[in-house]
Amino acid sequence: MSQIPLFGSRRRVREVIPHHCHVNGCQVPVPPKLLMCRRHWKLVPRRLQRAVWVHFNPAQCGPDVEARPLPTKKWHEAADAALRYVEKIEAPPPAPG
């Protein structure tokens, strides 16, 4: 299971929390640098995948919470577009009638 360390105000706490696919309802563990599990990522068109990676900064998943930069607005926009795409594909079909 992929886990990231939690940190206290100035000292490291040994507790860890799991990181999982960000698609609603998916609990597949993934490394913190990944937005989604493999199954969901394969549904995302290449242009959206590229946008997520272009705006990703590996330091945003670094072990030192206090020193790592926040994800950029561009990364959030790209990640949100990828998540919306997958959720649209996986949405149940509308009820007949």
Q: Where are the domains of the chain?
A: 3-90
**Comparing C-alpha atoms, which of 14, 30, 36 is closest to residue 83?**
36
Would you say residue 84 has pLDDT above 60? yes
What global pTM score does this model have?
A: 0.74
Summarised one tens digit per residue, pLDDT across range 1-41 is 444 455 444 455 444 557 899 999 999 999 988 999 999 99
- Output the pLDDT for position 17: 59
Q: How many helices (H) and strands (E) does the chain have?
A: 3, 2
The one-letter code for the residue type at 4 is I
Summarised one tens digit per residue, pLDDT across range 31-80 is 988 999 999 999 999 999 999 999 998 888 777 767 778 889 999 999 99
- In degrees and rounded to multiples of 5, residue 2 shows phi and psi of -75, 135
**Comparing C-alpha atoms, which of 21, 42, 29 is closest to residue 89?**
42
> What are the tokens at 65?
């919470």
d(CA 60, CA 32): 9
